[in-house]
Copies of this chain bind each other. A is one copy, B any other.
Amino acid sequence: MSRRDIGVGLLGLGTVGSAVAKILLNKSNKLAEQIGAPLVLKKVLERDVNKARLDCFASLAMTDRIEEVTTDPEVDIVIEVIGGEHPALEYIKQAISNGKHVVTANKEVIAKHGYELLSSAKEHNLQLRYEASVGSGIPLISPFQQDLAANDISTIYAILNGTTNYILTQMSQEGWDFSTALKQAQKLGYAEANPANDIEGMDAAYKLAILSTLAFHTRVDPQDIYCEGISRLQASDFRYAKEFGYAIKLLAIAKRDNGTIEVRVHPAFIPEDSQLAKVDGVYNAIQVEGDLAGDLVFSGQGAGASQAASAIVADALIIARDICHGANYVPELQLNQELPIKPMRDIKTRYYFRMNVADRPSVLTQISRVLGDNSISISAVIQKESDLAAQTAVLVIMTHPAEEKAVQKALEEVKQLAVVNEVSNFIRVEG
């Protein structure tokens, strides 16, 4: 071994960056043993000079100029933990064009630009690793790339966003409404001040784009993913879900079906005895089905600085080990097919409807006729909570599998019925 050590440049010293820096400083012996050479933090990009003054980081060489990291000849691996699309994307490109291997936790950059970045890294004979971008410290990218490589993957059902899962857990367990649960999540630091990316499902969609690209060997852009958030769920939906034996989760779903793929993120009823239904709080879980391995579930804390740092440092160790051993293998994104994405209107699943209706005997007959005319058959009905004064009642319907377009058309027609005051909610039912 001719090398003295492996140099790391760190972009960002926020919560995740600080966790990475501490591991590299505090576990240096353990890490060196694993790769056969020290892994040394050579330079840190951070605009906030106060962070440089923290005792624990006193030994670090800090800079506020990206070029000082990406052109430092002692830096072999650049770790990007700034987050967000820009300037992280440009920084990663700059690192690659300067011959640096890259490790990133950036789901948005990888979901939107992973293909071009990986191709560019490959051209430069460099590695770009992103294990922390999905599920944080839960091993997922490497199982998909390596351990499941012989499998044809048929489905992924996943809880990929801890913030929304915490909110849904509170709504279910405490009977809270959405805004109360969101405020609590913000208070505990589980949700950001601007929580849109999480609660509208975009965060989960980025992660699903990454996983489904790996699973199906086809390019899945986040904008191709149907995406619906959790803000229209109400406390009563959770009560009815329980009554029918279901939990409500924000599911990220990817399915292969006859040469097309379904990719969608939306709230869903799932059977309360299913493995994902039991994943509560900020935990994530990913259920994947392969033709050989069968059903596998990976679960753990899908967020948190030390969890992300666990995956980031593991990625850096793989690269460092390869550098030490002169290995020139660069994993590439194998996109060997172009599978069309099934339009949302063509998907087929079961549905839950909650309506406010007139409290009259003929109501169910009229509604079931409209549904029947659209080839939707009812599997269960609950009618209750009559408001005697207003002469209204709540009607809850579960259907057998039906096509999304038929359901949307039927709901429009149902709304026109004189006996229907409001279609209060509809939620897809999976599993």
Chain A residues in the interface with B (C-beta under 8 A): 19, 23, 27, 30-31, 33-34, 131, 137-139, 142-143, 146-152, 275, 278, 290-301, 304, 306-307, 309-311, 313-314, 317-318, 321-322, 325-329, 334, 336
Contact = CB atoms under 8 A, between A and B. Distances in A.
Given A310-B290, A326-B328, A334-B34, A296 B137 contact: yes
Number of copies: 2
A294 B306 contact: yes
Contact of A314 (B148, B304, B311, B334): B148
Contact of A322 (B34, B297, B326, B329): B329
A327 B127 CA distance: 14
A273 to B, nearest CB: 8
Contact of A321 (B296, B311, B329, B336): B329
25 contacts: A19-B292, A23-B292, A27-B150, A33-B334, A34-B149, A137-B293, A137-B294, A138-B293, A138-B296, A139-B142, A139-B146, A139-B296, A147-B310, A149-B314, A150-B310, A275-B278, A275-B299, A278-B278, A291-B306, A292-B313, A294-B300, A294-B307, A297-B299, A322-B327, A327-B327
B147 A314 contact: yes
Contacts of A306: 291-294
Contacts of A27: 150
A252 B297 CA distance: 19
B150 A31 contact: yes
A283 to B, nearest CB: 8
A146 B142 contact: yes
A298 B296 contact: yes
Contacts of A143: 139, 142-143
A65 to B, nearest CB: 29
Contacts of A150: 23, 27, 30-31, 309-310, 313-314, 317
A33 B294 contact: no
A216 to B, nearest CB: 12
A229 to B, nearest CB: 26
Contacts of A328: 325-327
A150 B311 CA distance: 8
Nearest to A288: B300
A304 B290 CA distance: 14
B327 A307 contact: no
Given A150-B23, A318-B146, A328-B327, A137 B297 contact: no
A14 to B, nearest CB: 17
Contact of A297 (B290, B293, B297, B318): B297
A328 B323 CA distance: 11
B294 A304 contact: yes
A292 B275 contact: no
A149 B311 CA distance: 9
A281 to B, nearest CB: 11
Contacts of A295: 300-301
Nearest to A279: B275
A141 to B, nearest CB: 9
Contacts of A151: 310
Please provide the 7 A-B residue pairs with the shortest distance between their CB atoms, ordered closest to farther.
A137-B293, A292-B310, A139-B147, A327-B327, A150-B313, A296-B300, A325-B329
Nearest to A294: B301
Interface centre among A139, A290, A327 (most CB of B within 10 A): A139
Given A30-B150, A150-B310, A295-B300, 13 more contacts: A23-B150, A33-B336, A137-B290, A137-B294, A139-B143, A139-B147, A146-B317, A146-B318, A149-B314, A291-B306, A292-B309, A293-B300, A297-B299
